[in-house]
Structure 1
Amino acid sequence: MKKFLFSILLLSAYFADAQTKVGGMVTDETGEPVAFANILFKNSTEGTITNDDGRFYMESDMTHDTLVVSFIGFAELEILLTSKVNYDMKIVLKEATEQLKEVVLIAGKQPKKNNPAVDILRKIWEKKRRNGLRMFEQYKYDKYEKVEFDLNTIDSSVMKSKIFKGLEFVFQDLDTSRITGKTYLPIFLNEKFSKVYGDNLLNEEKEDILGSKNSGFENNQALTAFIQDMYAEYDVYNNYIEFYDKSFTSPLSRTGVDVYNYALRDSAFIDNKWCYNIVYYPRRKNELTFKGDFWVNDSTYAIKNINLQVTKSANLNWVKEFYIEQDFEVVNDSVFLLRRDYMLTDFSFRKKEESRGIYGKRTTVYDNHMFDIPKPKSFYRAESNPFDPLVMNRDSTFWENSRLETLNKDEKGVYQLLDTLKTVPKFKSYYNLISILGSGYVEVDKWNIDIGDVYSVFGYNDAEGVRLRAGARTYFGQNDPWRLEGYMAYGFKDNRVKHGISGKWLVDQKTRLIFSGGHRRDVEQLGLSLTSTNDVLGRSVASSSVLTVGSNNRLTNIDLSTFSMEMEPVTNFRIRFGSSFRTLSSALPDAFSLDYIDADSPTGISSEIKQFDISTLLIYTPGKRVIGYGVERYDINDDYSTLLLNYTRGLDGFLQSDFNYSKIQFSYSQPWQLGGFGRLLSTVEVGKTFGEVPLGLLNVIPGNQTLFSLYNAFPNLDFYEFVTDTYTSVHLEHNFNGRLFSRIPFLRKLNLREIVGLRGVWGELSNENIALSSPTNIPLQAPSDKIYYEYSVGVGNIFKIFRIDFNFRGNYLDAPNARPFAVTGSFGFSF
């Protein structure tokens, strides 16, 4: 993440303290940890339960002198607290010698039937659609949000390390988390104030951001996108809650009784409302579940307070702790509204107790609700601009009046410290280094350009041999109305210079009218997509893959010029009109030929295709969310569907273009969150070409001779093994997110994830097109006799970063050099 990953490790904080803090570990008499034991301040409703390792931490703004610890089958234990802060407590529970007359705090395996907690849960299911904002036709409220990042587990070794030499002043004061009890250093703060409008009849909602403030990252759109994606909105009443691309079962879910143990722990008046307290914890390990408790009203069965903590055994990477706390406000006898939402994530490479990491904290406060004030539908369709300079540069008076929760001392210190750090040369050096690693670009602020990207410098293929590339782009700010970008490359085998250049200009912000154009001369592995490439800057993995299966010698010289006009008349609906002129020829003619019959050629055969096309592209992405208003914007979610319709018309004669044809293509991609069963990604694509065209303009079924797992490609097909002018393809890939492996004892702790895939394609190739390309030196065939299909079984999350897929060819096994089995893999960081 540009200007972020390292910057969040180097900023400062001030001290704040709670009245009573306790933390430690609960074990039995043999020293074994007691998971999910109940911890409670005596004569209060403040409590928690131990984690999988028997550890706990809890703090209170009140002063308490006694701690109560209990677990079913053990004698209840009361411990006197000798001071306000009691860390590293070693609590040993003894086995109960007699049945307790009354169980107030309870844990262990709970029944599904004749359980008062489950009876209350069923009442919540009945009432949940009649609570909160859903009770009104329209609503409006103020929303204040602050996001903070902290460096945690600060000790003397960190303070004395060489990396902080000369920056010791950042450790002037430290604070302690009320959730984990760890020392932390606040280093980044983002604030946002907005007004939210909604209409339950129209099923519309709109958020107008009136103010936004970042501590030192005002110009970092990538960071803002990361924050919004990571801390997306959620509703605890939903059956599943999505975080980090994973679906967690909500404790209020209708399927919760199969996933959680529930126990009625207590009852009390809260804000003059009688409420029940229910504890919940997972029935099994390694599932995407929470543990915690909630208070629910006895008449409306609306949630008054709830906390959720992800168990350490959950199949989630890079997250050691994950905690949510929500408080609801009593508006009247029957209306409970969300008042405050607090979320804390402890990001760390390891889940061990002593490992260091970064806290990500979000606090959202809601207030000033108003109801049943209708607004026209056009009001909800009008977009506000969260990156308007006026919004980004609000004065201190605005923030003093708009904050629904005041900043504490350490949060105020973040702003103060960054101003100081910007003047420290060593900090600037660290800042620039991590900026390069995160974005891939070297920033040259003096010239307003970025050099890169650095990850595309090296490449290799059979035509070019070793290849080096260097590029640059203009960058004045995150909302630039225009941008130029280009690169140059050189192949040491063919001794040729390649280049690409692109320009974009946002003419009108309201309709997002954009003019763009570019030119590219390079070597490319075509046939990785059923749609012809018009990208003048990008490069496929197969074009630079060092390791391939078989001979990867079907490469193409491409000389491409493009021009297009794009607009977005309705949110998430884009229309693009464009034209392109391309010249195609084989980069290795002895191994791969693009020859076709040409009556106008002296030899009757041509080896080069010249083609001018005009095209119309319609793209609809319902549910897609973006930020920014410049010529380039950032996506902040990936759970939206994509519908694409493309019509291309080839014109012969114009600019010496060779062929006259029409091509229509349609595709539909949809990710499906299937709750506890994981995530399914599906794609359907159909297309047809009208007219006679040679191999270079036909639709090649995407093969994959690399060792990388590529979605929408067939790993058991060679490049150009199947060629079509009419086709239908389907791709399905399902990630169970470890649901099956979590049931296998010896695999459970590895947190592996199961992935299955099914791919199929049917297509035809006319005799006329076969005859036109008959001089080529590769066989031309289409999967017309029967649907070609493959299936795969994969294992993901190996050492948290690797994935391996075992791919099987279902038919056409008698084809020459057919590959019945292939192994591919990939690597990357994901939660």
Structure 2
Amino acid sequence: MKRVQLIATIYTFLLCFFAVDALAQTTLIKGIVTDAKEKDPLPYVTVLFKGTSIMTRTDADGRFTISTTAAHNTLQFSYVGYKTEFLTITPAQTQEVSVKLNPEATALNEVVVTAGKRPRYRNKENPAVELIRRVIDNKAINRGERYKAIEFEQYERMMFSMSNLSEKFKNRRIFRNYQFLFEEQDSTKIGGKNILPVYMEEKLSQNYLQRDPDKKKTIVLANKQVNFDNALIDNKGLSQYFERMYADIDIYANNISLLSNQFLSPIADASPTFYKFFITDTIKTQQPNLVELSFIPRNNTDFLFEGKMYVTLDGTYAVKNAYLTINKNINLNFVRALEATLNFDKNADNRYHLAKSNLVVDFGLNQNKGGGFTGERTVAFTKYKINNPQPEQVFQGDAVVIAPTATQKSDDFWASNRADTLSEANLKVYQNIDTLNNMKSFQKTMDLVTLLFAGYKDFGPFEVGPVNTFYSFNDVEGLRLRLGGRTTTALSKRYYFETYAAYGIRDEKWKYFLSGTYSLNNKSVYTFPQHYLRASFQRDTKIPGQELQFVQENNFLLSFKRGENNVLLYNDFYRLEYMKEYENHFSYNVTLKKWTQRPGGVLAFENFIDGQPNLVNNITTSEIGVALRYAPNEKFYQGKLYRTPIIDKYPVFNLRYAAGLKDVLAGDYNYHNINASVEKRFYLSQLGFSDVTVEGGYIFGKVPYPLLTIHRANQTYAFQLRSYNLMNFMEFVSDRYASFNIDHNFNGFFFNKVPLLKKLKLREIASFKIIYGGLREENNPNRDASLLQFPVNAQGVKTTYSLNREPYMEGSLGIGNIFKLFRVDVVKRFSYLEHPVVSEYGIRAMVKFDF
């Protein structure tokens, strides 16, 4: 759910009150451009409103869409080797046109005329393919892998803007206090839409890279960004999320990460298999001479680019310039257009390095019209030096260091150090947002957005929520009412308190929670790196074996469950916790816990003493634990009162150890519990990506079954990635286990090839989960009657088992991206089908928002 909250925060925090009028006063032109003689469509023709910078290009099929809210009446079409054409259009209307371009008359020494069909495209004996293979063969040299050391200064700018604003929209009543936002507007070439910047960040850094061994150091010299003063929006969190969405474009890499997806580079090792290449021009006005190499996807729905690149003919076969875009049929959500331009400069050794890149992405709920948002990232590299090694002390310490005065640079500093100019309208965005933050009407609007998407009502130093837990129900507690909240940074950056109270109508019991946290680094306890001390007490119920990810346990929607749901534990938790997180994303957590468990519902703690049944009221443990976590290169979407990891290709390692202490704080048992896991996403280029988790654990000592590993089960109708979706609560317990989970998203690789399905942009998903486990004789109640016996149902049949006989396995096939929001899986259980109240098949759904 936090994934949805994350996207909703970014995409809708302005959309909620900037509700764009889709068609008002908009000139929208669609059409196709063809060769007047050959009738063939012409790709990458430049289309613009005459006398303006509002421009687009035709796609690989010769089609284009362009729009404006201004009163322009003439379109201009230009293409190398063809006469420029002009077309008169009617402003403020939607029109479809067909344009034919005539070749320019050229004096030729020799003319070869052929007839018949256009020859079938083939890689064999294709000079364009031979050229791209030369580029591929020289990738390692041209991307600088043979340099011993590289250093450069990097300027980057990220802008996020509202786009396609109509006059009717700007004059709405809701904006009577916001007219200063519309004083000046800029325009962007992509789609020809007027834009209004609402977020901007600039960064200037000095970078050092060294080979053998590989080392990297980044010193952030200056940093400036829009500052939103709201509990929902964290400025650092926005910055990190945009960095992930708009990652650096390395055309020499096999795969390019954009919008949380992987695109195959046109010069990837396997690019001739997925792309078609054409030599479309030779540039002899530059030294060295360049070849214009155009490329299009073989399948226009795959995650591939189309565009052109200019390759040197001096023997280096380097890319001098590149223009990348995507086909409108690609399986991406809300992306109406994408353009990237790359420019390379020559080094002293005649090799080329990236000098500037510009990426523009236009987002919108409607694919072809209406308002939306445009994101743009510009990166410029200057003061480039090669083979100038730095002393060892330069690379010591953290890989990224922020200069103490980075956020204090003056406007004069930025004016003289920007490697790319800014318009007056863009410069105003800093002042505009500061003004917005101080306006009561804007504060009320953002307060409403926070309530809708974060689930909390902000009262300054304290906020109440989350609202989706106020009401829930289950078979044991009946109707459950809950009210709680937490303090915010408005009260203190050192002290944090959180509490709630709940009451079950059927069991007539109060539940409550209280925690106090002290920040040891004078930062919010939700901000990276965390360093705090926390003490808490909780008296509440828990379903044994239910572990939820990114979802509140008392969420109303989780009240709906399948099968029998009449087993609960009443728990008392006393916990003291110390958390320390480091800049390299290694962390450790030390806890001291006292835990008392009492059975609830039909559950009973029962054993046999001298052959006679004996009821046990509760079990108590005292435990000390250490949890180690290492997540290299991890990034977060950082809210002010929460944070959500952004999944990437880097692994996450976890190691947890807990020791039970008998006779300490009334603890009843001695034991040692060790658990380890590794999680990683594997990108498989055009075949999508796999999320893989490997986990294992071992418990030393003799303990009752509530202290064993109760494997994660799911009896709701929501598909849960980490749980076993057809396993019943408390169905399996182990004192040793190993598991393997894989969830693979094909990103529509197969559906995209089916003519009718590809328009729906559905995505195929497959998953498989297997867990091996078992119980030693000393922990098996079937072997030792003095242990707490496994629970039984109303018919006296045991409902809890060990995994000694065979592994538990389940798999699923799913369809994702339904209405761009839902995933639905058909789940099959492969083992232990003879257990009571189990299903071999089930249908599960989840909300999953992706680009």
Which residue number in structure 2 is paired with residue 612 of structure 1? Answer: 622
- Indicate how the Cα distance of structure 1 residues 701 and 418 shifts in structure 2: closer, same or farther if over 3 A, else same: closer
2:406 is paired with a residue whose SS is: helix
Distance in 2, matches of 1:434 and 1:372, equals 52
Distance in 2, matches of 1:479 and 1:131, equals 53
Q: Which of 352, 360, 373 is the matching residue for 1:358?
A: 373
Which residue number in structure 2 is paired with residue 516 of structure 1? Answer: 534
Displacement of 1:614 after TM fit?
1.1
Instruction: Check conservation: 2:85, 2:101, Cα contact below 8 A.
Output: no
Q: Which of 458, 463, 470 is the matching residue for 2:483?
A: 470
Which whole-Å deviations, capped at 9, do the CAs of 1:302-327 have from their partners, x for residues lacking one?
11111211211111112111221111
Displacement of 1:746 after TM fit?
2.2
Distance in 2, matches of 1:35 and 1:29, equals 6
Distance in 2, matches of 1:398 and 1:85, equals 47
The answer to whether structure 1 residue 147 and structure 2 residue 161 are counterparts is no
Which whole-Å deviations, capped at 9, do the CAs of 1:411-467 have from their partners, x for residues lacking one?
11222333443454433332332243344333334x3x4433334333322223333
Instruction: Check conservation: 1:762, 1:787, Cα contact below 8 A.
Output: yes
Q: Which of 749, 763, 766 is the matching residue for 1:739?
A: 749
Distance in 2, matches of 1:551 and 1:339, equals 64
Q: Which of 190, 194, 199 is the matching residue for 2:201?
A: 190
Q: Which of 127, 130, 137 is the matching residue for 1:126?
A: 137
Match of 1:737, as an amino acid? N
Distance in 1, matches of 2:491 and 2:290, equals 49
Q: Which of 556, 559, 572 is the matching residue for 2:585?
A: 572
Match of 1:185, as an amino acid? L
Q: Which of 73, 78, 99 is the matching residue for 1:92?
A: 99
- Indicate how the Cα distance of structure 1 residues 543 and 456 shifts in structure 2: closer, same or farther if over 3 A, else same: closer
Distance in 2, matches of 1:472 and 1:115, equals 67
Q: Structure 2: where are the runs of 5+ without partners? A: 1-5, 19-26, 49-54, 69-73, 104-109, 523-527, 793-797
Instruction: Check conservation: 2:84, 2:101, Cα contact below 8 A.
Output: no
Match of 2:436, as an amino acid? L
Displacement of 1:570 after TM fit?
7.5
- Indicate how the Cα distance of structure 1 residues 420 and 779 shifts in structure 2: closer, same or farther if over 3 A, else same: closer
Which residue number in structure 1 is paired with residue 64 of structure 2? Answer: 55
Stretch moving more, 388-397 or 665-674: 388-397
Which residue number in structure 2 is paired with residue 432 of structure 1? Answer: 447
Which residue number in structure 2 is paired with residue 79 of structure 1? Answer: 84
Structure 1 length as normaliser, TM-score?
0.86
Match of 1:623, as an amino acid? N
Distance in 2, matches of 1:11 and 1:544, equals 28
Which residue number in structure 1 is paired with residue 189 of structure 2? Answer: 178
Displacement of 1:795 after TM fit?
0.9
Which residue number in structure 1 is paired with residue 772 of structure 2? Answer: 762
Which residue number in structure 1 is paired with residue 648 of structure 2? Answer: 638
Instruction: Check conservation: 1:330, 1:337, Cα contact below 8 A.
Output: yes
Which residue number in structure 1 is paired with residue 271 of structure 2? Answer: 256
Instruction: Check conservation: 1:478, 1:630, Cα contact below 8 A.
Output: no
Q: Which of 303, 306, 322 is the matching residue for 1:288?
A: 303
Identity %: 25
Instruction: Check conservation: 2:790, 2:799, Cα contact below 8 A.
Output: no
Displacement of 1:544 after TM fit?
6.4
Which residue number in structure 2 is paired with residue 550 of structure 1? Answer: 563
Distance in 2, matches of 1:442 and 1:764, equals 47
- Indicate how the Cα distance of structure 1 residues 390 and 492 shifts in structure 2: closer, same or farther if over 3 A, else same: farther
Displacement of 1:66 after TM fit?
7.5
Aligned residues: 794
2:413 is paired with a residue whose SS is: helix
Displacement of 1:631 after TM fit?
11
Displacement of 1:95 after TM fit?
11
Instruction: Check conservation: 1:803, 1:827, Cα contact below 8 A.
Output: yes
Instruction: Check conservation: 1:305, 1:325, Cα contact below 8 A.
Output: yes
The answer to whether structure 1 residue 792 and structure 2 residue 801 are counterparts is no
Match of 2:510, as an amino acid? V
Which residue number in structure 1 is paired with residue 325 of structure 2? Answer: 309
Structure 2 length as normaliser, TM-score?
0.84
- Indicate how the Cα distance of structure 1 residues 151 and 49 shifts in structure 2: closer, same or farther if over 3 A, else same: same
Distance in 1, matches of 2:567 and 2:145, equals 59
- Indicate how the Cα distance of structure 1 residues 34 and 101 shifts in structure 2: closer, same or farther if over 3 A, else same: closer
- Indicate how the Cα distance of structure 1 residues 200 and 36 shifts in structure 2: closer, same or farther if over 3 A, else same: farther
Which residue number in structure 2 is paired with residue 338 of structure 1? Answer: 354
Distance in 1, matches of 2:647 and 2:179, equals 38
Stretch moving more, 514-523 or 694-703: 514-523
- Indicate how the Cα distance of structure 1 residues 325 and 247 shifts in structure 2: closer, same or farther if over 3 A, else same: same
Distance in 1, matches of 2:505 and 2:474, equals 11
Which whole-Å deviations, capped at 9, do the CAs of 1:538-590 have from their partners, x for residues lacking one?
843789622211111222212112223333467232233222111111231xx
- Indicate how the Cα distance of structure 1 residues 58 and 212 shifts in structure 2: closer, same or farther if over 3 A, else same: same
Match of 1:518, as an amino acid? S
Instruction: Check conservation: 2:257, 2:263, Cα contact below 8 A.
Output: yes
2:268 is paired with a residue whose SS is: coil
1:797 is paired with a residue whose SS is: strand
Displacement of 1:34 after TM fit?
7.6
- For residues 322-471 of structure 1, the aligned pairs below 5 Å read 322-332=338-348, 334-351=350-367, 353-375=368-390, 379-380=394-395, 382-383=397-398, 390-445=405-460, 447=461, 449-471=462-484
Displacement of 1:102 after TM fit?
9.3
- Indicate how the Cα distance of structure 1 residues 83 and 494 shifts in structure 2: closer, same or farther if over 3 A, else same: same
Displacement of 1:515 after TM fit?
2.7
Displacement of 1:286 after TM fit?
1.7
Displacement of 1:84 after TM fit?
14
Instruction: Check conservation: 2:295, 2:307, Cα contact below 8 A.
Output: yes
Which whole-Å deviations, capped at 9, do the CAs of 1:624-650 have from their partners, x for residues lacking one?
235889998664543321222222111
Distance in 1, matches of 2:12 and 2:308, equals 36
Instruction: Check conservation: 2:331, 2:748, Cα contact below 8 A.
Output: yes
The answer to whether structure 1 residue 585 and structure 2 residue 598 are counterparts is yes
- Indicate how the Cα distance of structure 1 residues 503 and 137 shifts in structure 2: closer, same or farther if over 3 A, else same: farther
Distance in 1, matches of 2:496 and 2:391, equals 37
Which residue number in structure 1 is paired with residue 501 of structure 2? Answer: 488
Distance in 2, matches of 1:175 and 1:272, equals 35
- Indicate how the Cα distance of structure 1 residues 324 and 490 shifts in structure 2: closer, same or farther if over 3 A, else same: farther
Stretch moving more, 192-201 or 649-658: 192-201
